Structure formats: structure tokens, C-alpha cells
Amino acid sequence: MTEPLLSVRDLVVEFPKRKTRLTALDHVTFDIYPGEILGMVGESGAGKSLTGAAIIGLLEPPGHIAAGEIWLKEQRIDKLPYEQMRRLRGKRIAMIFQDPLTSLNPILTIADQLIETLQTHLPLSDKDARARAIQLLDEVGIPAASKRIDDYPHQFSGGMRQRVVIALALAGEPELIIADEPTTALDVSVQAQIIDVLKRMCHDYGTAVMLVTHDMGVIAEACDRVAVMYAGRIAEIGDVRQIVKDPQHPYTQGLMGSIPSLTERVDRLVQIPGSMPRLDAIPAGCAFNPRCTQQFDRCKQQRPDLIKTKKGQVACWLYDGESS
């Protein structure tokens, strides 16, 4: 197997609160390989977006990385000084945010924002930068890019703005893009188009993507592998087909059961009883144990780590001893 592009090892993110600390990410471990699309799914508050923010070094204080390591190829990046991290952002790791309506600076033109980003990372003259900016806009599918480049963000629709955002994120030709729910704020009709653009562009540029979403449809359509998060921990990682067809973790099984299928007739959708615990009330042992239909004593006492099975990695005691 190839070397991973990004390795996250036992990442812990904490928020100090009154007398205690909230552990928002609890020993998260996963890899992203060059050029692949890794999906991150889970309910809101499971820690998907936080993982993205931690990787790119933009956690909002008082949140901070309390333990663990993040490696980008041979470079450890979780403790880099601000200026070094800044050079890396946009150049090697980029990020796309949820809402294209608020992601663009309203008082700067698209040209202003694109050219500045290009020149920050690449040694381009003003003229070359502008030409490259137009080319990028063209590639993400903005019609009449050479004219529209001087428009302000408010003159574009939501879908068009997310295309501009993608162009901006790709300007430095990064190796990894963290896309934080890039379609959630968009009309259903343009969601597929944006995912297409993202897929195509990243394929063309060989960029790996960490696609954060809670939309299983998007996962199934776009991703190579999927990581399922629950209460700040990774419950399961595996190949997308395997996870969708044959999930191992009881939580993933519940998650998949709750998606209506167009092709198969399902009598009723499975619902997971209860809701994800608040961060200050995570039970001992496996975080999922109060809702789990297959739980046993050990689940309440010992926290399961990711176990390698034939099908992937899963943090569940049911599979203890199956490790390959």
C-alpha cells in the first residue's frame, strides 16, 4: 500500500469548561491516502467538522489539541508555529466551508480574492495570476469567466458561489482539501453538480478530499472510503461499498437502516432509539452502549479501540478476536 498523505494519531481536542474539560475529540485515529476521497459521517456534534478544523489548525479557542499527532507525509503539523502553518494552508491543505453565501468576502471582487490567494502561494505576476484565475473559474464551470471575474460575490447564486469557493480552495494546488458539508446549504438541485465539480477537479489535480457530511447519499456517490464518527470517536472505517452494504458497528447499522432506499423495498426504516450523549455525559466504556441493542457487560466497562477486521476497522467489542 502507498504511504498515507495524512495521518491522524490519537487526536484529542478539548474545550475547557468551568471546572471540567469537555473532550470533543477522543483519540481519533485515521489515514487519508493521496488522491482518495474519505467521507466523514456522523450526527451533528459527533466531531466531524472539529476534526477538519484541527487538521488545518483553525480550532476556535478555547478549543485546543490536547494530545495526539497529525502528520502530513513526513511533516508533523499539529504543533507548527503560526507562520509555517499559514504557508501550509491553501498550499498543501485547503478547506471548503459549509455556506458559500458567507464564505466569500462581500466587499472584494472574485478577482481580488482569487488573485491574492494565487499570489500568496505561487510566484505569479499580476497578469499571469489573472489568467490563471480565469482558467480556474472556467474549470469549475463559471460561464463567461473572463467577464464575471470582476463581479462581487453577491452577484452570483449559491451554487455558483460554491464553485468559486472550490476554485479558491484549489488555487494553491493543495494535496488535501477538507470539504466541510460543502453542499448542505445548497438547493437540492445543485448539490449533485457541486459534488461532481469537486470530484472532477480533485481527480484532475490529484487532490485528496476529506468530505465531511451527514448525507449518506453524498457519501455513497462520491467517496472511496468512509469514517463513521460517534460522540467524538471513530466508530468504524472502511471501504464505502462495504460500509453501505454490510456495516459492522451497531451504530453504523442503525445509520444505514435509517436511509430510505430507492432500489430496494424496505418495510420500515430502522430508527436508533435515544440520541447521541452530550459531551459532558458520555458513558463509560463504549460511548454507544446505552443505545446499542447488542451491548453486553464489557461495553459498559472498557472502551473499545479500533479493531482491524477482514472488512475494515471497527471500534466494537463484538469483533474482538476477529482481528486479522
Partner 1 sequence: MTENTPNSTATVKRRLLGRILDSDLFYDFSRRPIIILSAILTLAIILAAAFAPWIAPHTPFDPSSLNLMDGFTPPMAPNAFTGNVYLMGTDSQGRDIFSAILYGARISLLVGFAAVAFAAILGITLGLIAGYKGGWVDTLIMRIADVQLSFPAILVALLIFGITKSLIPSEMQEQAAIYVLILSIGLSDWVQYARTVRSSTLAEKNKEYVQAARLFGVSSFRILGRHILPNVMGPVLVIGTIGLALAIILESTLSFLGVGVPATQPSLGTLIRVGNEFLFSGEWWITLFPGITLLLLALSVNLLGDWLRDALNPRLR
Partner 2 sequence: MIAMLIRRIIQAAMVMLVVAFISFSLFQFVGDPINNMVGQEASQQDRAELRDRLGLNDPIPIQFFRFVGNAVQGEFGISYRMARPVSDVIAERLPATLELALVSGVLAISLGIGLGVYTALRRDGWLSHFIMSSSLIGVSLPTFLIGILLIYVFSVELQWLPSFGRGETVQVTENWSTGLLTLSGWKSLILPSITLGLFQLTLLMRLVRAEMLEVLRTDYIKFARARGIKQRSIHFRHALKNTLLPVITIAGLQLGSIIAFAIITETVFQWPGVGLLFINAIRFVDIPFMSAYLLLIALVFVIINLIVDLLYFAVDPRLRVTKRSASR
Q: Give the interface with partner 1 as residue ranges (CB under 8 A).
A: 15, 17-18, 22, 24, 45, 278-280
Select the binding partner of residue 279 from partner 2, partner 1, none (C-beta < 5 to 8 A, by kind): partner 1
Report, in Å, the least distance between residue 287 CB and partner 1.
15
Q: Which does residue 76 touch among partner 2, partner 1, none (CB within 5 to 8 A, set by kind)? A: none
In the complex with partner 1, which residue's Cβ is closer, 47 or 312?
Answer: 47
Binding mask 115-154 for partner 2 (x = CB under 8 A): -xx--xx---------------------x-------xx-x
Residue linked to cell 457541486: 194
Shortest Cβ 30–partner 2 spacing (Å)? 20
Q: Which is nearer to partner 1, 61 or 260 (CB)?
A: 61
Distance CA 71, CA 139 (A): 31
Nearer to partner 1, 88 or 279 (CB): 279
- Give the residue with the Cβ less far from partner 2, 26 or 139: 139
Binding to partner 2 (CB under 8 A) within 148-177 occurs at 151-152, 154-157, 159-160, 165, 168-169, 171-172
Least separation, in Å, of the C-beta of 18 and partner 1?
6
Q: Does 88 bind partner 2 (CB under 8 A)?
A: yes
Burial class of residue 48 in the structure, from the number of CB atoms within 10 Å of its CB (0-12 exposed, 13-18 middle, 19+ buried): buried
Q: Which residues of 51-60 are buried (b: 16+ CB within 10 A; e: fewer)?
A: bbbbbbbebe
The angle, 0 to 180 degrees and rounded to 10, between the axes of the packed helices 110-121 and 158-170 is: 20
Which residue lies nearer to partner 2 by CB, 20 or 84? Answer: 84
* Three-state secondary structure of 304-323: CCCEECCCEEECCHHHCCCC
Taking the C-alpha atoms of residue 262 and residue 265, their distance in angstroms, rounded to an integer, is 7
191 binds, among partner 2, partner 1, none (CB under 5 to 8 A by kind): none
89, β-bridge pairs: 93
Residue 54 to residues 12, 29, 49, 194, 239: CA-CA distances in angstroms? 10, 13, 9, 25, 24
User: Which residues, 6+ apart, have CB-to-CB distance to 85 below 8 Å?
Assistant: 57, 77
Joined together, the cell numbers standing for residue 280 give 459532558
Q: Does 211 bind partner 2 (CB under 8 A)?
A: no
Residue 87 contacts which entry, partner 2, partner 1, none (Cβ below 5-8 A, type-dependent): partner 2
The b/e string for 115-138 (b: 16+ C-beta within 10 A; e otherwise) is: bebbbebeeeeeeebbebbbebbe
**182 near partner 2, judged by CB under 8 A:** no
Pick what 280 binds: partner 2, partner 1, none; C-beta below 5 to 8 Å, kind-dependent.
Answer: partner 1
C-alpha cell at 172: 494553491
φ/ψ (deg, to 5) at 254: -65, -40
Question: Cβ 159 to partner 2, closest distance in Å?
Answer: 5
Taking the least distance from each CB to partner 1, the nearer of 48 and 121 is 48
User: Which of the 8 DSSP states describes residue 140?
Assistant: T
**Residue 279 CB, nearest distance to partner 1 (Å)?**
6
* 32 contacts 176 by C-beta, under 8 angstroms: yes
Under the rule (CB under 8 A), what is the footprint of partner 2? Answer: 56, 58, 82, 86-91, 94-95, 97, 99, 102-109, 113, 116-117, 120-121, 143, 151-152, 154-157, 159-160, 165, 168-169, 171-172, 190
